[in-house]
A and B are shown apart, each in its own frame.
Chain A
Amino acid sequence: MRLTAFVVLCFSFFITMLIPPSGHAQGRGELLIDVNFKQTSLKTILKDIERKANVIVMYESTDLRMNDKVDISLKRKPLAAVLDTLLGKQNLKWTLRNNTVRIEDASYKNQSSGSLFSMPALIPVSGIIYDPEGQPLGGVTIIVKSTGKGTISGPDGRFELELAQGEELLISSIGCADQKVVIQNGNTVKIRMVRTISKLDEIQVMGYGSTTRRLGTGTISSVKTEEIDKQPVGNVISAIDGRMSGVQVVQPNGLPGAGLMVQVRGDNTLGPNFGFSASDPLYVIDGIPQITAYRSYDTRLTIGVYGMNGASNLLSNLNPKDILQIDVLKDADATAIYGARGANGVVLITTKKGQPGRIRFNVDLNTGVGSIERFIPLLNTAQYLDLRKEAFANEGITPDANNAPDLVSWSANVDNDFQRMIFGGKAKQSNANISISGGNDFVRYYAGLNYRKEGTVMPGYNAVKRIGGLLNLDITSTNRKFDVQFSVNYSNEQSDIPSVNFQSMLFMPPNYEPVNPDGSYNWNPNFNNPLASLKARYEAENMLLNTAVTLSYRPLNRLTLKLLSSYSLHRSDNSTQNPAESFNPFYGPQVAYTTFAYSPTTSYTIEPQAVYRFRTGAGEFTALAGGTVSSALSKSTILYGSDYAYGSLLNTISSAGTVFASDLYNKYNYASGFARITYNLNRKYLLNLNYRKDASSRFGPNHKLAGFASVGAAWIFSSEAGIMKSLPVLSFGKLKVSYGTTGNDRVDNYLYEMYYNTYNGSYFSPGYEGINTLGPGISANPALAWEITRKAELSLDLGFLKDRILLHGNIYRNRSSNIINAELLSGQAGTTFVTTNFDAVVQNKGLELELTTRNIQTRDVSWTTSLNISLTKNTLIRFNNIENADASSRYIVGAPVNVYLDYYKYSYAGPDPVTGVPGFKNLDDVPGADRYVVGIGTPYYGGLNNTITFRNFTLDVFIKFQNRRGKQNDLLTRVPFGGMSNQNISALSRYRPGKDNEDVVWPLAVSGVGPLTSVYSNFYNSDFAYGNIPYLKIKNVNLSYDIPARLINKAGMNSVKIYLQSQNLFTLAKQKYVMDPEMPGAYPSLRTFVFGINCSL
């Protein structure tokens, strides 16, 4: 009830604001207006009337009477009467047609051209505009060239104007090339628009609307379906990786179903490790902001239970083939319309819609195989045993069956390669997509069904399967005033993969045999048995159901009312099952247990909107007002079952002997009102103003509401005749500046109020005399408020040689303040911390470049190139009261926010020449500790794409490059060098007593059981295995061939394409000792080859 009232209120608000008095042309003469002037020129008074009555007044500008000073005072009189009074005295005559008032000298009756008035006779012109597909096109701007005035076409594509014979009309619409039409005789014109070939005019989706690179004031990067289709990826977010400046895809591992995240222009908060707020962007699917009741997006689906592929999120449930395009909003101007949720950028995902015309039936089938691209070169058994013997000899320790089974008990003739044993398989994948789309003027549809199965390179059955369907339906009323879009997206992803990480097991001694001759597992106290660990399984079912309905109504040509509403259900039902035999008996009793988690999240969003477009003078206004009401509820039930009597029923809680249960409940409500005004003057000067008022349930009673605003302005200097004359190669030039504030409310719920919690019989809380007790929760902070990000940007867009070369460059600076984190309290408070806003500032600065060129464009051959590079710098500028912040020792003012103690490293100076133990440089960064802050993050990253078509062949090669800083050696762990773990071949260059030790890399080997081991703890905290890991990856290659039409037409086909695609084909990296420089220490992304066929009829 409350909600309905709100929606009605919002609508009435928009209508009252936007509807001008009796805003229709027919009765304009009866329109009541006030005119009150004393000794004012006729010219000025007419201007006032133009504004009040929303008419265009035309007169002979040389008429001196227009400068006459007159008195007039009329209240609420019809326009006709006002004009009579005003002009009658001056002996001027007026006529009103449509919205144009023509003033003529009454003494020259029935004059036409050639009169003293040089003004040409005006003729009424009506027209209808069609889109390239032949459907009437509304919202098209029509401008009379000589006057700069004009109109906008209605939903039926129609427009009406009055103009002189021979006048030129400029017609422009988003996504279409500009057209010029000269009016000759004919009173009705029909104009068919054509799709643009310039990238500048391709549609970019923005918050609550769409724009183009030519006319937009915000900074938006887009990836379209053609680019997505060329990549055999399971998660659509992978398809934008490296292809957008300022956008990084954070991929935790290369396993199917892994939750990928987008990061836009760096961390705006205190980072994922210790911060109390999250820096995920806002994801918007088909205009519907996706919300979760948790602060961080990736915890949305999997609560409490994780498989080897980590936390999943709903993005892995989307079918890439159903996606039309992905747009990422970056600067203040583009993101401020999302107010409190726009601080970390906005990712807009648009699904495919039906196009009017013939029915298109498309089948796409492909199958492929993936494998590890590169393994780390490791020591063989002989080299390994040498190292081990040497380590014992160095310390004078005798190896025995306890401290060195590898030397004493195990065969020296076994040479196992665990990398290939565990990760050496082939990951098969297959995909099937069927879609049907089409429609007519009034009904359009897109329906798709998809199936994907992807395996892993590990032994045994491991697979993630996804099945899903999408239906988009668009219905328009016959008068084209009413439109309904209906969308249902369902997908179900099932995982059956291991639950543990095998990374540490890749480097076991090469002479270790995991299985004894009798078939039993070979256990030892030093490491786990990989074959046994494979028995621990992660079984999951992640379900996504997104439904949305958008109603649009155009009561007037200029006004569109919209109501978006959506409902989503995201559900995760998963378990990790650990059979008794998967546990190392040396680490404790082998007891089977299973953890089950059932986590449904439901959410709804309702967004009423009103868009009003109108022209005055040479300018065009678009005003948008709207509101959001959304609510998300996430629940989770976690059951922990143990004491299973037998291992064959670990997949049910019923057969567990002991059960602990816990549950979680989180609710998040959010509401806002927003407005935007865009002004476009002569397609030369653009101005965009945003304002948004937000309300979030995550803050205390007095801090729930906050306002955010932005301004963006652009100057298309290529529209200035003078500049164009002096720079003939320049075809487009735009200078753009934006500034604004956005917010972040990604914090935990309920922090403003202290709640009592109950516990359910876990032995951490035993209850009292059989009663489950209640206890107070963490400290509340009713004053908790939003994080605020101030974004400033300056950007330049250039087009050369008729837009064959397009260059975009920008510099930006984002500063986030009011950062939320824990403030430590002295122990006497009885609680350790309170969540609060700190006077801290996190800055992200950067430079982004995007270059697109059409190198060759002939009938048979075309070659296009696009390149993007981003340079970023993240700095913690200020952190007052840092000493009272949680983990205060971890943040360093002046360093990036994710520098924490781990990134203070000792500086390794090679082995000591005398003793061979690791030596370190003397440093002063941290007094007395000889540590310094090593660089972290990604100083630059980018991508280069080349597309070449030759007749029916198309070849795409996409290269991603990065310089990131991080771990250079996957093998350097807490096991000492020389301990019971294999090492990469660089270990051959090590300090050997009594040998020539010049230029050796590694220090003296130690066994791990002797006293020298402790000397090595600083070595593991040194920069020995840490540094720059620049790399370049041929991320994607696509080769496709379109079978010539004459061969397939007989078979009734429209097009048939066969293709070969490869992902992660080749990596060129400075570092050989990590499997995948993109994600060191994780299951790598695979080199995949896919063969497929796409048929369309």
Chain B
Amino acid sequence: MSMDLIYKYRTRLIVGTWMLALCACRKFVTLNDPQGQLTSGRVFNDKGSATAAVLGLYTNYIDYTFPVMCKTGGLASDELFTTNPELTPYLSNEILPSIALPGDTWAQEFAHIRECNLAINGLENATSLDIDIKNQLLGEAKFLRAFGFFNLLNFYGGVPLTLSINDIENASLPRASEQDVWKQIFKDLVEAKELVAVEYPSAERARINKSAVAAFLARAYLYHNEWENAEDEATEVIEQNSYSLEDLSRVFTPQSKETILQIYIQQGINPLVFDYLPPAPGFAPAVYLRNDFKAAFEPGDLRKDNWVGTDGSLSFVHKYKNNDYTSTEYLLLFRLAETYLIRAEARAQRDHITGLNSAESDINTVRSRSNLKNITITDKKAALIAIEQERKVELFGEYPHRWFDLKRMKGLTSLSQTRADEVVAALKGATWQPTDKLFPIKSEDIRLNPQLKQNDGYPNQ
């Protein structure tokens, strides 16, 4: 190439080399994944890493979220008591949105939902994952997302439906209606039920199978007053041979036959025991049972002996036993006794009150495990009262069952009220307002997203 030729085409050469250099630069500054970190695309195209990412979703309930839900729900209802000044606003149902709350269910559940969204998106776009693995994992992620929305819905009402993987987009969404959130929960659960396997994917009952989805669907249909669906799903679980009511002392062990879904806990760090059990004899736990709670048990109810601990005059939730860092107990999310009580309530609502395959028979199944005599029920109202009572003493402390029950159940004196308006108002007097059924959204979250509307009855800041 002679110099003159170069000179003649110099403009083209300069432009050409410049373009090539720019391309080279751009390529040079485009990095591979850093060591120890993977892009979503790589995570979900490999069986091992995709599973590790979905298992990460379960761990979200190990740390704070779950105990906070149990504590705050229990305190807001007639179940738990505390002297901890951080928690007393829940006790008096006077929660201020401006004050930072211990363990923020709102933020924690949305963080969990963000991870579920990322997993669902990653799995849906995965091309080289075995279809069985992909379906199972996708089903688990959808179930867990529905669980997040279910908890949010029950604490806060209609929440923003954050389904995108774009955090900034999600951050500015307005609230959806309660009905739309329900739709999303059912959509995820129905899809999950199609996707997951009948058998548990691992040796323990710590991951989701078809029965776990059915148990959740039963609970969701019940809360949504779809009695027939609730009964069907509950029956589907109960008819599985693998589940049976366990001896009371073994209900919360990892080997329990009653378990439908547990969260795996590494030895020693079951988060519920730290709040429920006295740190040492003579020291009150963060939250404990109200004085009158023990009176709710009928004489001879074995649950009182097995599940209520006593330290002096104080009684506390003692379903999980050890707080000495050696606990091997998992965290129970769904178990057969609740499913029986769901079916009982659905049957009562469908007026199958007494006799074979009735509300009464399901209630007595649960009662007999606790060494209680069978009861006979004659009308629907009595059935519903019996079910509420049975749920109270069976399910206390392990999930905000009581708080959610009081909020959703119709009042006994007036159908326009809920049981919360009757029970909590009677207990706490003037500090109770009907709007207290929903917790407030933190004012900081509203400040950062002006689209967000505060729940009724709370100041906007």
Q: Which residues of A contact B33 (CB under 8 A)?
A: 755
Cβ contact within 8 Å between B17 and A830: no
Q: Is A85 an interface residue (CB 8 A)?
A: no
Task: Kindly provide the distance from the CB of B340 to the nearest chain A CB, expressed in whole angstroms.
Answer: 28
Bound CA–CA A1024/B218 (angstroms): 66
Bound CA–CA A561/B107 (angstroms): 59
Interface segment out of the listed A361-369, A667-675, A893-901: A667-675
Within A4-37, which residues are at the interface with B (CB < 8 Å)? 5-6, 9-10, 12-13, 15-17, 19-23, 32
Task: Kindly provide the distance from the CB of A457 to the nearest chain B CB, expressed in whole angstroms.
Answer: 42
Q: Is B269 an interface residue (CB 8 A)?
A: yes
Cβ contact within 8 Å between B160 and A828: yes
Residue-wise, chain B 1-41 has the 8 Å CB interface mask toward A (1 for contact) of 00110110010011001101110111111110111111110
Cβ contact within 8 Å between A2 and B34: no
Within B48-64, which residues are at the interface with A (CB < 8 Å)? 49, 51-53, 55-56, 58-59, 62
Cβ contact within 8 Å between B56 and A774: yes
Q: Which residues of A contact B112 (CB under 8 A)?
A: 830
Interface bin, chain B: 35 or more
CB-contact partner of A13 in B17, B106, B160, B442, under 8 A: B17
What is the predominant secondary structure among interface residues of chain A facing chain B? mixed
Q: Is B356 an interface residue (CB 8 A)?
A: no
Cβ contact within 8 Å between B21 and A6: yes
CB-contact partner of A669 in B21, B31, B104, B118, under 8 A: B31
Interface segment out of the listed B274-282, B313-321, B360-368, B446-454: B446-454
CB closest residue in chain B, given A15 = B6
Cβ contact within 8 Å between A17 and B14: yes
Task: Kindly provide the distance from the CB of B307 to the nearest chain A CB, expressed in whole angstroms.
Answer: 26
CB-contact partner of B202 in A769, A775, A828, under 8 A: A769
Cβ contact within 8 Å between A826 and B62: no
Q: Which residues of B contact A831 (CB under 8 A)?
A: 111, 114, 167
Q: Is B162 an interface residue (CB 8 A)?
A: yes
State whether A826 and B30 are in contact (beta carbons under 8 Å apart), knowing that A9-B17, A9-B24, A13-B17 are contacts in the complex: no
Q: Which residues of A contact B31 (CB under 8 A)?
A: 667, 669, 697, 749-750
Bound CA–CA A364/B40 (angstroms): 60
Q: Which residues of B contact A1094 (CB under 8 A)?
A: none
Task: Kindly provide the distance from the CB of A531 to the nearest chain B CB, expressed in whole angstroms.
Answer: 34
Cβ contact within 8 Å between B25 and A825: no
Bound CA–CA A766/B447 (angstroms): 35
Bound CA–CA A642/B49 (angstroms): 31
Residue-wise, chain A 682-698 has the 8 Å CB interface mask toward B (1 for contact) of 00000000000101110
Residue-wise, chain A 51-82 has the 8 Å CB interface mask toward B (1 for contact) of 00000000000000000000000000000000
CB closest residue in chain A, given B201 = A769
Residue-wise, chain A 761-774 has the 8 Å CB interface mask toward B (1 for contact) of 00101111101111
State whether A669 and B10 are in contact (beta carbons under 8 Å apart), knowing that A22-B3, A773-B59 are contacts in the complex: no
Q: Which residues of B contact A2 (CB under 8 A)?
A: 24, 27-28
Bound CA–CA A827/B65 (angstroms): 14
Q: Is A721 an interface residue (CB 8 A)?
A: no
Q: Is A665 an interface residue (CB 8 A)?
A: yes
Q: Which residues of B contact A670 (CB under 8 A)?
A: 29
Task: Kindly provide the distance from the CB of A617 to the nearest chain B CB, expressed in whole angstroms.
Answer: 22
State whether A756 and B449 are in contact (beta carbons under 8 Å apart), knowing that A6-B24, A697-B31 are contacts in the complex: no
Q: Is B460 an interface residue (CB 8 A)?
A: no
Q: Is B150 an interface residue (CB 8 A)?
A: no
Q: Is B417 an interface residue (CB 8 A)?
A: no
Q: Is A829 an interface residue (CB 8 A)?
A: yes
Task: Kindly provide the distance from the CB of B352 to the nearest chain A CB, expressed in whole angstroms.
Answer: 40
Cβ contact within 8 Å between B25 and A673: yes
Interface segment out of the listed B168-176, B223-231, B284-292, B383-391: B168-176
Bound CA–CA A763/B59 (angstroms): 12
CB closest residue in chain A, given B24 = A6
Q: Is A116 an interface residue (CB 8 A)?
A: no
Interface bin, chain A: 35 or more
Cβ contact within 8 Å between A827 and B52: no
Q: Which of A20, A666, A753 has the most CB of B within 10 A?
A: A753
Q: Is B264 an interface residue (CB 8 A)?
A: yes
Bound CA–CA A672/B49 (angstroms): 37
Q: Which residues of A contact B25 (CB under 8 A)?
A: 6, 671-673, 693, 695, 705
Cβ contact within 8 Å between B30 and A13: no
Residue-wise, chain B 107-121 has the 8 Å CB interface mask toward A (1 for contact) of 100111111011000
CB closest residue in chain B, given A772 = B52
Within B401-451, which residues are at the interface with A (CB < 8 Å)? 442, 444-449
What is the predominant secondary structure among interface residues of chain B facing chain A? helix
Q: Is B206 an interface residue (CB 8 A)?
A: yes
Cβ contact within 8 Å between A828 and B445: yes
Q: Which residues of B contact A32 (CB under 8 A)?
A: 4
Q: Is B159 an interface residue (CB 8 A)?
A: yes
CB closest residue in chain B, given A765 = B59
Residue-wise, chain A 735-756 has the 8 Å CB interface mask toward B (1 for contact) of 0000000000000011001111
CB closest residue in chain B, given A673 = B21
State whether A826 and B452 are in contact (beta carbons under 8 Å apart), knowing that A663-B36, A768-B58 are contacts in the complex: yes
CB-contact partner of B30 in A697, A774, A834, under 8 A: A697
Cβ contact within 8 Å between A21 and B3: yes
Q: Is A112 an interface residue (CB 8 A)?
A: no
Q: Which residues of A contact B29 (CB under 8 A)?
A: 669-671, 695-697, 704
Cβ contact within 8 Å between A705 and B22: yes
Task: Kindly provide the distance from the CB of A589 to the nearest chain B CB, expressed in whole angstroms.
Answer: 15
Cβ contact within 8 Å between A13 and B447: no
Bound CA–CA A884/B37 (angstroms): 29
State whether A704 and B26 are in contact (beta carbons under 8 Å apart), knowing that A771-B52, A824-B448, A828-B445 are contacts in the complex: yes
Bound CA–CA A673/B29 (angstroms): 13
Cβ contact within 8 Å between A825 and B106: no
Q: Which residues of B contact A884 (CB under 8 A)?
A: 448
Q: Is A701 an interface residue (CB 8 A)?
A: yes
Cβ contact within 8 Å between A755 and B7: no
Bound CA–CA A492/B112 (angstroms): 48
Bound CA–CA A659/B2 (angstroms): 67
CB-contact partner of A755 in B6, B39, B49, under 8 A: B39
Q: Which residues of B contact A749 (CB under 8 A)?
A: 31, 34
Q: Which residues of A contact B173 (CB under 8 A)?
A: 828
Cβ contact within 8 Å between B43 and A756: yes
Q: Which residues of A contact B26 (CB under 8 A)?
A: 695, 704-705
Task: Kindly provide the distance from the CB of B356 to the nearest chain A CB, expressed in whole angstroms.
Answer: 41
CB closest residue in chain A, given B148 = A830
Task: Kindly provide the distance from the CB of A628 to the nearest chain B CB, expressed in whole angstroms.
Answer: 10
Within B154-198, which residues are at the interface with A (CB < 8 Å)? 159-160, 162, 167-168, 170-173
State whether A773 and B442 are in contact (beta carbons under 8 Å apart), knowing that A2-B24, A13-B18, A20-B7 are contacts in the complex: no
Cβ contact within 8 Å between B170 and A828: yes
Within A650-680, which residues are at the interface with B (CB < 8 Å)? 663-667, 669-673
Cβ contact within 8 Å between B24 and A826: no
Residue-wise, chain A 883-922 has the 8 Å CB interface mask toward B (1 for contact) of 1100000000000000000000000000000000000000
Q: Which residues of B contact A701 (CB under 8 A)?
A: 30
Q: Which residues of B contact A829 (CB under 8 A)?
A: 110, 114, 162, 167-168, 170-171
State whether A665 and B452 are in contact (beta carbons under 8 Å apart), knowing that A826-B171, A827-B110 are contacts in the complex: no
CB-contact partner of A16 in B6, B117, B264, under 8 A: B6
Task: Kindly provide the distance from the CB of A880 to the nearest chain B CB, expressed in whole angstroms.
Answer: 15
Closest 7 CB pairs of A and B: A830-B114, A826-B449, A773-B56, A13-B17, A829-B171, A755-B37, A665-B35
Instruction: Name 5 interchain pairs, CB-CB below 8 A, sorted by A.
Output: A749-B34, A754-B118, A755-B33, A828-B170, A834-B167
- 11 further A-B pairs in the complex, CB-CB below 8 A; given A774-B38, A829-B167: A6-B24, A13-B21, A21-B7, A665-B36, A671-B29, A768-B59, A769-B55, A769-B204, A779-B167, A825-B168, A826-B445
Query: B residues near A, CB below 8 A?
Result: 3-4, 6-7, 10, 13-14, 17-18, 20-22, 24-31, 33-40, 43, 49, 51-53, 55-56, 58-59, 62, 104, 106-107, 110-115, 117-118, 159-160, 162, 167-168, 170-173, 202, 204, 206-207, 264-266, 269, 442, 444-449, 452
